Amino acid sequence: MTVDGTCTEAFDPLRSLLAENLTTGEDRGAALAVVHDGELVVDLWGGEARAGVPWTRDTITQVWSVTKTMAALALLTQVDNGLIDLDAPVARYWPAFAAHGKDAVLVRQLLGHTSGVPGWTAPVTVEDICELEKSEALLAEQEPWYPPGSAPAYQIVCHGHLVDGVVRGATGRTVAEILHEDVMAPLGGGFRLGVPEDELDLCADLSNPPPSNLDYAALGPDHFLIRTILNPLLAPEDVCNTPAWRRSAVGGAGGHGNARGIAQAQALVSHGGEYGGLRLLSPETAARVLEVQADGVDQVLSVPVRFGMGYGLPMATAPAVPQGRVCWWTGYGGAIVVNDLDRRTTLAYTPNKLADHMVASPRTDAYVRTAFDCLENL
């Protein structure tokens, strides 16, 4: 299977791994990118975007929860603009969020998935959550599901709504507007939170994942995972491949991008706030993402996690992610972005064939390990 794009010689094993996975069908279509010390050293893609349509340089695909890192980046840029204080209460910028004892929840806790609001209490539809202001208001008005700040509970779908509520209140702009205008446009694009009509043809179709090894029935209807993933259910082929979903701006799961666009945007974090001649963060703000906000068993995911501000940190449940000053996160089915602040390196992987993957899986782990092994050979 042909792999297009470029990479430096040191990263040839990464090209070979992508070619192998495309040939065996482990990947249907995918892109890989690595930014290292200010240079795009890997920019690869191949396979099929949808039936009969090849994956091209500008193909984008839904990256699920990798979108959360992009939403965090948008918020962090406003910290350096003096419009948001990470240590301030959410209610300073979003007064309605103070309802039912949520007045003490801090912005940094919201970014670290300890807001007490991992999902919607009221039944919502896909159409409801695509109306951001309406569905954000529901989150603000509801009672927390557990004492805020006491434990992590992964804000699996609503995270982007929570971040957008803060950003909108503080700046008068949406997360999507900041990402598109301040981040992606200067860096050449490659990520969309809300795909415009004239770019819908760039979208790769998702393939449903295989059956999960998790026994959902055994969890019971009140388990936080069941309450979040079924309200509403984002079925990959039935919902996520539709134009209406792609045009929406659901910042917890609905972003569409390719590896190059995501890696170059996230390189702002791994490079101390500046990449490609664009400075949007101070080194101090970039480093704050590493401050631990939650460390323990997550009440949604039911596995041990470590969350910084808007990103995961190295954790035992993601064994391929390197140790050190590293922040990262992954998307349902296998997409991932990893930022290494000491080695000034960002890796991104964006597939359209979904694996049985929540936090880690063999295919994604192999790409992460191979990329960082190649980095040692530079």
CA distance 173 to 358: 31
Query: What is the rounded CA–CA span in Å between residue 123 and residue 361?
Result: 31
pTM confidence score: 0.98
Closest by alpha carbon to 307, among 158, 118, 151? 151
pLDDT digits (tens, 9 = 90+) for 38-64: 999 999 999 999 999 999 999 999 999
* Per-residue burial over 133-142, b = 16 or more CB atoms within 10 Å of its CB, e = otherwise: eebbbbbbeb
Distance CA 315, CA 305 (A): 6
Q: Do 366 and 17 touch, CB atoms closer than 8 A?
A: yes
| CATH code, 61-355 | 3.40.710.10
Supply the pLDDT for residue 217. 83
Q: Could you count the other beta carbons within 10 Å of the beta carbon of residue 243? A: 11
190-221 per-position pLDDT tens digit: 999 999 999 999 999 999 999 888 888 889 99
Q: What is the pLDDT of residue 102?
A: 98
Tell me what pLDDT residue 61 has: 98
- Predicted local confidence at residue 378, as pLDDT: 84
